[in-house]
Amino acid sequence: MFATSISLDAIHSFSKNTIADHIGIEFLEIGTDYIVARMPVDHRTHQPFGILHGGASVVLAETLGSIASFLCLKDPDNQHAVGLEINANHLRPAKNGFVYGRVTPIHVGRTTHIWDIKITNEENKLVCVSRLTVAIVSANR
């Protein structure tokens, strides 16, 4: 499904000096139609009560979906994938360790992509479910 073949190292290099790098998101696996990453649950991603901040989960979800859309672009030199809408349902707290996000496609069209992102804890229990809509726009905008 992915039009662009890319290594985990290349994805990590895209993330240098971004929010994903700042909060410690690491890409772990790229399949034919999915990507897996993990994010630490620590002082960078906690909210004041010592649990994972919902906004950090949304950053993980949008990061995964945006990279997945980039990998689907037919002409990445002349197209950009930009977030259009995201929602997230936070199902259980996480206090420490890592959470893992897995992105899979719902719809990959010419002008929009819709992604399903499931975030789990180290016991593989759902922490958050998210849906991201990405617009595919001309890079000349």
Is residue 67 included in any domain, yes or no?
yes
Is residue 2 included in any domain, yes or no?
no
Paired tokens of 91: 């199902």
Q: How many helices (H) and strands (E) does the chain have?
A: 3, 6
**Domain ranges, residue 61:** 8-138
**CA-CA-CA-CA torsion sign (130, 37, 55, 15):** negative
Is residue 125 included in any domain, yes or no?
yes
22 Rama sector, left if φ>0, alpha if ψ -120 to 50, beta otherwise: alpha
Is residue 1 included in any domain, yes or no?
no
Paired tokens of 79: 């197209």
What is the tally of structural domains in the chain? 1
Estimate the share of the chain in helix, then strand, then coil, as percent rounded to the nearest 5.
Answer: 20, 40, 40
pTM recorded for the entire structure? 0.95
The CATH code of the domain that includes 99 is 3.10.129.10
**pLDDT in 10s for each residue of the chain, 141 residues:** 887 778 999 999 989 999 999 999 999 999 999 999 999 999 999 999 999 999 999 999 999 999 999 999 999 999 999 999 999 999 999 999 999 999 999 999 999 999 999 999 999 999 999 999 999 999 886
* Contact present, 34 and 18 (Cβ < 8 Å): no
Q: What are the residue numbers of the active site?
A: 62
